[in-house]
Amino acid sequence: MGDPKKAYDTYLDQLVADAKAAVDEAVRLGVADPDRIGVTGHSHGALMTANLVAHSDLFRAGVATSGSYNKTLTPFGFQNETRSVWEAPDVYLKVSPFFYADKLKTPLLIVHGADDANPGTTPLQGSKLYEAIRGNGGTTRLVMLPHEPHWYTALESNEQLVYEMLRWFDKYVKDAAPRSTATEH
């Protein structure tokens, strides 16, 4: 919405509103239980996943694969954001879930290729988000896939990814107790 050169100024609001609309529609259609929804994404989708679990209560758990979670580490732009961190520091901080790790209480599985050479999604991004969440008492797991680039190619790595995701979602989404619906007295 608005000026494409400043799309990330309202990124979080748009992201959460879009996810809420999708969840609401899935619940309305009867194909989703609002107490048992997970979210996953790869690369920029991983950034979106981490931001959704940090800034909304729509999801019970998330899985983020090979993402970029601290945009100040890509100071000269990212995706369609052409402003540098010095031109738009508030945008870089606001879109970086790393800086909200103290509020990230929804379980987040982080998977990363150990040999990711993409300059925006180096393995350091996954490691540092993991450390930040753990250091702030959140629930997270980091899985580094050996010898894998940004897109996982080995059969064993893809099998490991599926195993980890199923185990994570079984534990934190499928088997999760429904959220309490407290009423005022």
Choose the catalytic residue: 35, 56, 127, 150: 150
- For residue 178, the tally of other CB atoms under 10 A from its CB is 10
- The token duo for 92 is 């870089």
The one-letter amino acid code at 132 reads: A
Please state, in angstroms and rounded to a whole number, the distance separating the CA atoms of residues 43 and 135.
24
Cα maximum dimension of the chain: 57
> What are the start-end ranges of the E strands in the chain?
38-42, 61-65, 108-113, 140-145
43 part of the active site:
yes
Can you tell me which residue has the tokens 């599985």?
Answer: 109
Catalytic residue among 66, 68, 116, 157: 116
Interatomic CA distance for residues 114 and 134, integer angstroms: 20
Active-site residue, selected from the candidate residues 9, 42, 43, 55: 43
- 116 catalytic? Reply is yes
Q: Say whether 42 is catalytic.
A: no
Return the active site residues: 43, 116, 150
